[in-house]
Structure formats: C-alpha cells, structure tokens
Amino acid sequence: MALAVQKFGGSSVADADRIRAVADRIARTRRAGDDVVVVVSAMGKTTDDLLRLADDVSSVQPGREIDMLLTSGERISMALVCMALADIGIDAASYTGSQAGIVTDTSHTNAKILEIRPGRLLSALAEGVVPVVAGFQGVSTDNDVTTLGRGGSDTTAVALAAALNADRCEIYTDVPGVFSSDPRVVPNARRLHSVSFEEMMEIAATGGKVLALRSVEFARNHHVPLYVCSSFTWEPGTWVIEEDPLMEQPIVSAVTCVVSEAKVTIIGVPDRPGVAASLFRTLADELVNVDMIVQNTSTEGITDISFTVPQNELAVSRAAAERLAPVIGATSVLVDENIAEVSIIGAGMKTHPGVTAQMFEALYGANINIEMISTSPIRVSCVVRQEQADEAVRVLHAAFELDRA
Amino acid sequence: MALAVQKFGGSSVADADRIRAVADRIARTRRAGDDVVVVVSAMGKTTDDLLRLADDVSSVQPGREIDMLLTSGERISMALVCMALADIGIDAASYTGSQAGIVTDTSHTNAKILEIRPGRLLSALAEGVVPVVAGFQGVSTDNDVTTLGRGGSDTTAVALAAALNADRCEIYTDVPGVFSSDPRVVPNARRLHSVSFEEMMEIAATGGKVLALRSVEFARNHHVPLYVCSSFTWEPGTWVIEEDPLMEQPIVSAVTCVVSEAKVTIIGVPDRPGVAASLFRTLADELVNVDMIVQNTSTEGITDISFTVPQNELAVSRAAAERLAPVIGATSVLVDENIAEVSIIGAGMKTHPGVTAQMFEALYGANINIEMISTSPIRVSCVVRQEQADEAVRVLHAAFELDRA
C-alpha cells in the first residue's frame, strides 16, 4: 500500500461538479489500495475576489489581515471536498494549515515552512480517514495565520509528501502535464512523459507555468516524485523525478518563453572595479529580481551593462539605475519592454557540446536577432524582439525535433 | 476609561461602505477614551450562500465540515474591518475563535462555550491594539473548529464582555433598538430606553427578534449591561440591564407576537397519571421544543391535551403524537397551523394584579377569541387565530398605552 499526496488547484475545485469529480478521483485511488492525503486550493478565482474586496475597503492592508482574509478560501473548498467524499461513503476530515501542523516563520503573505508536525494527519490515516488539508496556509511561531505566497498550495503538498514520507505527490491542475513547449504557440508540442527535477526547475524559471519553481526545488531537495496531471481530462500526465544516471537523457526536452521581462541598459559605464557591485547591490536592496546580466567588453575603459527584470519591477529598477548613473559616472539609462526570453532546456545538454551553436543557427536561419545570452549547464536563454518570440519558439521546437516521441 | 465590547451583525458589515462605517464607529469610541473589543459576524448573507454551496456538493454534511465551511465567513469580515481601521490610523488585529481563547464543547454546529482564555486579547488591549474577534465560532476541547449555532455572534460578544469584565456590550444591528411592539404592525410603537434582562428574555422568547434568547440569558447571568443600537442610523438604542428594585417598573413594556408555531391537540385522552409524562418524554426524545401546554379539565375521566411547537418541528411532533395516541388510548390527533401567540411583557406585572384581566377584556372588545393561555410572572401569552394576530397586537398596544413615553 502506497501513500499519495493529491493536490487539487483552484480550477480543479471551481464548482460543485468539479468538487464531485475530485472526490471521485480520491475514491478511485483509495479503491486501488493506496492511502491519500489531499491538499486543496481555494475555489476558482476566490483569492482574486477577496483581494478586490480588500481594495474596496482599505488602502492599508496589513499582511496579517490579508492572510486572515485569504485563508478563508481553502476552508470553503476543503470542507466541501470532505462533504463530497462523505456523500460517496468515504470518511474524510479537513485540516487547516495549523491543524495539519504546518509551522512557518512570521513573514505574512510570503511565509516559509519551518517544520511540519503531522501528528493529526497520521492519526487520521491510521483511522482510515482521508485528511483534506488547506493548501497555501500555515501557522507562525507566533500562533498567527500565515500564507506561503505564490504557488503556496503546491509547496504545501510537496512539504507534506516529504514529511509523511509519501511515495508520490500528484499535482492536479487545468493542463494535462508538462509539454515540450506551449501548445498554444506550438500546435505539435508533445506532453513529456517525464522530466528531471533540474529540467523542471529550469522550465518553471523560464516561463513554464505548470509548477511553481519553489515547490519543484522542495521536491528535489526532499526526493519527492511529482506527477502533474489534468483534473479535467484525467489523461496521463508528466512525472518529475530524479535524473537516472544510467539512462540517456534527451538533449533538449522543452522550449520555453517569457515575455513579462524588461531590459535596462546603463550606457557609458567606466570600467573599474566595484561599479557593477554597487549597481546590483542597489537593486538587491530594492528587492528587484534581476534575471540576466550582460556586460559588454570594455572599449577605452567604457562599457555598457544590461540586465533584465520582471516588468512589474521595472519602475523601481529604472529609478535605481537613474539614481546611480551619475554617481558612477555613466552616460545614460535605456529601458526596453519589448523583449522576450526564449530558452531551450535539456538534461542531456551537459554531455552534448554544440547545442548552443545549433540554437543560434536555428534562430539565424529564421532571421531572428539575439540581443542577450545566458546559459546554465542544462539551459540556454536568448533575448529576442518580443514580436519574434512565437516564431523563435516554433523554430527551436522544430530544430530540436521535439514533436517526435 | 471604560471597556466596551462592540458586536456588528451581518447586515452591519454587508459591504465595503458599511465596513468603513463600522470602523468609523469604533474610532469614535476610541477617541472618546474607551477601549474596544470588536466582534463581527459574517458579511450579509454569506452563511446562507455557503450552506447553499454545501447543498450543491453533497447530501451528507458532517457537522465538523459545516463548521469548517461557515467559519470562513467571519475571517473575511474581521480581516476587512481590521484593514478599514488601519486605513484610518487605528491599530487592529483579527482573532479567530480559537485565537481569542473561546473554548467550547465538541457539539459541532451548536457548541456551548466552556471557557474563555482571553490572554491574547488582553495583550492586544495592553498594547493599544483593537482586537477584532470572529463571532459565532470557537475551538473545541478536541482542537476542532466549532460554531455556536443561531445567534452565536451575540453569545460570543456577551461571553467576551463577561470574561474581560467589560463595562458594556453593544450589539449593533439593522434595527434601532427594542420597541414596544413591531413597528411594521404597530406604526406608533416606541423605542424603549431600557428593559430589564427578564423582560428582554421574555421578549426574545415570544417573537422579538432583536437579540437571541441565549445571549440575553448569558448577559443576565454574568451581569453584562447590553446596549442594542442600529449601525445604519446610529440613533440612540435600548439598554438591557438589571432591574432596579428602587424604581417603579412599567406594568407592560412590550407586546410581541409569534406566528411560526403550530398547535397539536390529542383528543380523548384517558385522565390517568403518567399519560402526559409519556407524551412529553416522547417529544423531548425527538428534540422538539414544546412551548405552551394546556390540559382541559377532565370530563368523565377523558380530557384533551393541546401543545404548541415550532412549525418546522410539527411533522415530527405530529408523528410522535399519532404513534402514542393508540398506546395511551386517545381518540385522535388534531393539528392547527393557523395560530398566533400574542404576548404582553412587563416587569411591573408582578406587583400589579388585574393585568391579565385587562388583556382579556381588550381582546374581547375587539372580538378576538382566546384559544390557549399561558403566563409567567412578567408575561401573559394568548393563542389566537393567525389572521387576527396583527389586530390583537394593535389592540393590546393601545390598551396598555404603550405609545406614550
């Protein structure tokens, strides 16, 4: 008998029909002989609706109260899932983050899990009861209600799977797994049967929205096999697992794309030690998430520095750069929002030189100019014009033959 | 500096505008120099909406999960009230039933408060923070979420006022206090400046919907002065306080009416010991709330027994009576839903004989037949035809001159 953690996202519990379908899935797993711990998100767009309500009421929104507000959402969905299970004869009980023993730090709206005390969940399992746990929430060391931030329910599921030593963590969502590229852009994109944790982290970091980066990282660190699957079609999904060193890895598994970044370039920077440090320290102090950084080769002691940031952090980044430019003796600051970052990802890249060259050739063949480049051992990313992004993705998907099984 | 508990019902926090008005009221109380502990209900019709959702999902609705579901409602309203307070510069923090130390028994959906551990609320007050507490909910001795049933938020407010030794408990609602009768029936009904706990309990028990009986009883037992006031007009309300033995009491304070009851009559009951006992034991075992009971004088060893019950308990009461009738040798069972119970209530009645006669004369003068009578030291109730109920209320209101200050 195996233990599965099954996590159902907001679209999977959006209405009464979907909740009954979720209960049915849980029942099947139980009938197959496995134990189940369920994790649910708030129904559909509940979280957005609550945040809108908060905006209507007040411009001052303390994090502690936002957390109190938002955690109402999972209470509703988990109680309803328990009732739907009761309706088909399965004993279930709901547990808040606090009751499930999910202890976090005190960072409201973006708390980190410190510890899991799964005593009540283990008791429930021992009694044959299916625990249904509120995703996204915990209780702080100060006994206040906290939330885990973006992708928090996935993190709850993976952390519980690790704490309970579960055999797998199944993430049910509105897409049927991880694809070789976005099917809306590349019609012949294929569902991947499995990807390694490392590949999945790169996919999540470069535009693949199926899983939050943080939960994949947690799963990798705690060796929790993930399974991503659609709760609408229930067709076979994608496994996210440890890389098998004995198996040959695909050279390139997926092509991803991010269009939500912007590029900032500081022109005419004197090329002396400490200049880059002071720039990126300033940005770090503003909590800007800098992605790619490129510094041109210096010509006569003067260089340009470009970096990309999320568009919603552009204003603060630009202000910081413009504040710093005169201090470091730079000429001017340029901003470009019309960019896209296209990436190829593959675990086999590590052992196959020439992949980068093949990528550049494919883009060149389609007359797509590359503006910035960054690489990791299993990823190559290029910044291109945003209007050429879809074409770049399709060209790369074809060049690496990702439509073939 | 006094301490006030201020409770705002569902209609008082129904939308963003009302929530801001509530925050403003709390701010005024604070500026007047008093400390405040706030208790809120769920917004508007939230609870009804959630119960409808539960019906859509499942016909099996375990009490534990209903409680988990419904307690989401106060989380939303209290977080929003805290934000609205923050918006006008007042430090506030929300507390769930559990965080406020409201410990209950394990009777889901209808829990009783066992103990209040107000440590966190006292700390908040000491730090100048306004605690905003979720009404209606607590935590059981098994660490599960519980709700207090009908009128639960009023009970929370009164229980907190008692535990915190508050100077008063203010109940804000959508009506401006307690009236000498229902203003929709009696246009010249007056707002009462004050009523005694005993009068208020009789009013609540006989159709006055302003306060739940249970919370008034709790307030009386713990000597908590109540103040009932409208959160829409903020005009002066009604005090519910200890009877002052030195003051002369009004003979009749209020006329109330209940139309939601039904009468069951068992015909031809042999008049021997134990028959009534077995009937009402049977009803008690079915958890039926029997209100009035009348047994006619026996004629030739045969009598009739009539009793009234809430209409929603009529089916089970009728079934019990029909089951029992042949066993005790009774002839038949009659049911009458077309009744109303009209009551006069007044603390001065105790010391003024003749009030009952005056009531009967007034009804007789209006040609209204009395079908059943029951009395307490400060109340006389008559069952009349339902279509004569409004007329009976108006006649009695006039007869006892309740329109005069």
H, E, C per residue of B359-393: HHHHHHHCCCCCCEEEEECCEEEEEEEHHHHHHHH
Q: Where are the alpha helices (DSSP H) in A308-374?
A: 314-328, 355-365
Q: Report whether A388 contacts A340 (CB < 8 A).
A: yes
A76:B53 CB<8 A: yes
Percentage of chain B modeled with pLDDT above 90: 74
CB atoms within 10 A of CB B187: 10
B86:A57 CB<8 A: no
A73:B72 CB<8 A: yes
Provide the shortest C-alpha distance from residue A134 to chain B (in Å).
11
Query: Tens digits of per-residue pLDDT, A172-183?
Result: 999 999 999 999
For A50, which of B60, B76, B96 is closest by C-beta distance? B76
Helices H / strands E in chain B, number of each: 12, 20
- Mean pLDDT across the stretch B295-324? 87
A87:B62 CB<8 A: no
Q: Where are the alpha helices (DSSP H) in B206-306?
A: 213-221, 275-285
- Domain map (residue ranges) of chain B: 3-174
Specify whether the backbone of A246 is left (phi greater than 0), alpha (psi in -120 to 50) or beta. Answer: alpha
- Mean pLDDT across the stretch B228-251? 87
Query: Tens digits of per-residue pLDDT, A186-197?
Result: 999 999 999 999
A84:B20 CB<8 A: no
Provide the shortest C-alpha distance from residue B295 to chain A (in Å).
45
Query: Tens digits of per-residue pLDDT, B18-67?
Result: 999 999 999 999 999 999 999 999 999 999 999 999 999 999 999 999 99
CA distance B36 to B90: 11
- Mean pLDDT across the stretch B270-297? 81
Provide the shortest C-alpha distance from residue A145 to chain B (in Å).
10
Q: Chain centroid to CA A211: how far?
A: 4
Number of residues in chain A: 405
Q: Give me the CATH topology for the region A3-174.
A: Carbamate kinase (3.40.1160)
Q: List, as own/partner pairs, every contact residues A291-295 make where C-beta atoms lie below 8 angstroms and the sequence separation is at least 24, other chains included.
A: A291/A261, A291/A341, A291/A374, A292/A341, A292/A372, A292/A374, A292/A381, A292/A383, A293/A374, A294/A372, A294/A373, A294/A374
- Comparison of pLDDT for A170 and A244, the residue scoring more: A170
Provide the shortest C-alpha distance from residue A46 to chain B (in Å).
12
- Mean pLDDT across the stretch A149-154? 89
Phi, psi angles (nearest 5°) of residue A265: -125, 130
Percentage of chain A modeled with pLDDT above 90: 75
Q: What is the model's pLDDT at position A351? A: 77
CA distance B259 to B338: 8
**Secondary structure class of B103 (helix, strand, coil):** strand
Residue type for position A97 = G
Q: Is the pLDDT of residue A9 over 90?
A: yes
Q: List, as own/partner pairs, every contact residues B113-122 make where C-beta atoms lie below 8 angstroms and the sequence separation is at least 24, other chains included.
A: B113/B138, B113/B148, B113/B155, B113/B159, B114/B141, B116/B159, B116/B160, B116/B162, B116/B163, B118/B160, B118/B163, B118/B164, B120/A143, B120/B95, B121/B37, B121/B95, B121/B160, B121/B164, B122/B164
**Residue reference for tokens 């991880």:** A178
Of B153-157, B166-170, B272-276, which range is least confident?
A: B272-276
For A79, which of B20, B69, B78 is closest by C-beta distance? B69
Residue A44 CA: distances (Å) to CA of A41, A47, A220, B369 = 8, 8, 28, 58
Please list every residue in chain A whose beta carbon sits closer than 8 Å to the beta carbon of residue B19: 57
**Residue reference for tokens 């109402």:** A72
Residue A58: closest CA among chain B residues belongs to which residue?
Answer: B84
Please list every residue in chain B whose beta carbon sits closer than 8 Å to the beta carbon of residue A79: 54, 65-66, 68-69
Predicted complex: ipTM over 0.85: no
Please list every residue in chain A whose beta carbon sits closer than 8 Å to the beta carbon of residue B46: none
Q: What is the model's pLDDT at position B304? A: 87
A87:B58 CB<8 A: yes
A57:B87 CB<8 A: yes
Mean residue pLDDT of chain A comes to 92
CA distance B194 to B196: 7
Q: Do domains A3-174 and A262-336 have the same CATH topology?
A: no
A60:B83 CB<8 A: yes
Return the number of CB contacts < 8 Å for A and B: 117
- Mean pLDDT across the stretch B376-398? 94
For B83, which of A20, A58, A86 is closest by C-beta distance? A58
For A57, which of B57, B80, B94 is closest by C-beta distance? B80
The CATH homologous superfamily for domain A254-258+339-399 is VC0802-like (3.30.2130.10)
Residue of B48, B57, B61, B130 to mutate when probing chain A, most A C-beta within 10 A = B57
Q: Chain centroid to CA B342: how far?
A: 17
Radius of gyration of chain B (CA): 23
For A80, which of B53, B82, B120 is closest by C-beta distance? B53
Residue B134: closest CA among chain A residues belongs to which residue?
Answer: A68
Q: Is the pLDDT of residue B278 over 70?
A: yes
Please list every residue in chain A whose beta carbon sits closer than 8 Å to the beta carbon of residue B78: 68
Please list every residue in chain A whose beta carbon sits closer than 8 Å to the beta carbon of residue B72: 72-73, 75-76
Q: What is the model's pLDDT at position A241? A: 94
Provide the shortest C-alpha distance from residue B6 to chain A (in Å).
19
Residues from A contacting B (CB-CB < 8 Å) are: 16, 19-20, 50, 53-54, 56-62, 64-66, 68-69, 71-73, 75-76, 78-80, 82-84, 86-87, 93-94, 96, 99, 120, 143-145
The pLDDT-based confidence of B283 (bands split at 50, 70, 90) is confident
- Mean pLDDT across the stretch A104-110? 94
- Mean pLDDT across the stretch B324-348? 92
Q: What is the model's pLDDT at position B151? A: 83
Please list every residue in chain A whose beta carbon sits closer than 8 Å to the beta carbon of residue B59: 87
B69:A54 CB<8 A: no
Q: What is the model's pLDDT at position B405? A: 64
Q: What is the model's pLDDT at position B133? A: 98
Helices B63-70, B72-87: axis angle to 10 degrees equals 20
Residues from B contacting A (CB-CB < 8 Å) are: 16, 19-20, 50, 53-54, 56-62, 64-66, 68-69, 71-73, 75-76, 78-80, 82-84, 86-87, 93-94, 96, 99, 120, 143-145
- Mean pLDDT across the stretch B164-175? 95
Please list every residue in chain B whose beta carbon sits closer than 8 Å to the beta carbon of residue A145: 96
B54:A83 CB<8 A: yes
Q: What is the model's pLDDT at position A356? A: 87
Burial B251-287 (b: 16+ CB within 10 A, else e): bbbbbbbbeebbbbbbeebebeeebbeebbebbeeee
Please list every residue in chain A whose beta carbon sits closer than 8 Å to the beta carbon of residue B79: 54, 65-66, 68-69
Provide the shortest C-alpha distance from residue A78 to chain B (in Å).
8
Q: Report whether A10 contacts A44 (CB < 8 A).
A: yes
For B65, which of A62, A65, A83 is closest by C-beta distance? A83
- The burial of A168, by beta-carbon neighbours within 10 Å (0-12 exposed, 13-18 middle, 19 or more buried), is given as middle
Q: What is the model's pLDDT at position A405? A: 64
Residue A74: closest CA among chain B residues belongs to which residue?
Answer: B72
Provide the shortest C-alpha distance from residue B133 to chain A (in Å).
12
CA distance B120 to B140: 18
Q: What is the model's pLDDT at position A207? A: 86
The pLDDT-based confidence of A280 (bands split at 50, 70, 90) is confident
- Comparison of pLDDT for A185 and A374, the residue scoring more: A185
Please list every residue in chain A whose beta carbon sits closer than 8 Å to the beta carbon of residue B143: 99, 120
- Comparison of pLDDT for A312 and B353, the residue scoring more: A312
A68:B87 CB<8 A: no
- Residue B386: CA count within 13 A, CB half-sphere: 10
**Secondary structure class of B180 (helix, strand, coil):** coil
Q: Is the pLDDT of residue B248 over 80?
A: no
**Secondary structure class of A201 (helix, strand, coil):** helix
**Secondary structure class of A118 (helix, strand, coil):** coil
CB atoms within 10 A of CB B166: 23
**Secondary structure class of A109 (helix, strand, coil):** coil
- Comparison of pLDDT for B247 and B169, the residue scoring more: B169
Q: Beta A238-241 vs A226-230: how paired, if at all?
A: antiparallel
The pLDDT-based confidence of B170 (bands split at 50, 70, 90) is very high
B50:A76 CB<8 A: yes
CA distance B31 to A237: 60
Q: Beta B145-147 vs B137-140: how paired, if at all?
A: antiparallel
Q: Report whether A325 contacts A296 (CB < 8 A).
A: no
Residue B23: closest CA among chain A residues belongs to which residue?
Answer: A57
Provide the shortest C-alpha distance from residue B281 to chain A (in Å).
33
pTM over 0.90: no
Q: Report the candidate in A385, A200, A207, A359 with the shortest Cα–Cα distance to residue A291.
A: A207
CA distance B131 to B6: 11
CB atoms within 10 A of CB A129: 16
Q: Beta B102-104 vs B3-8: how paired, if at all?
A: unpaired
Indicate the helix (H) or strand (E) that contains A261. Answer: strand A261-270
DSSP string, A142-156: TS-EEE--TTHHHHH
Q: Report the candidate in B208, B212, B222, B210 with the shortest Cα–Cα distance to residue B254.
A: B208
Q: At B146, list the tokens.
A: 């519980």
- Mean pLDDT across the stretch A253-271? 92
A58:B80 CB<8 A: yes
What CATH class does A262-336 carry?
Answer: alpha beta
Number of residues in chain B: 405
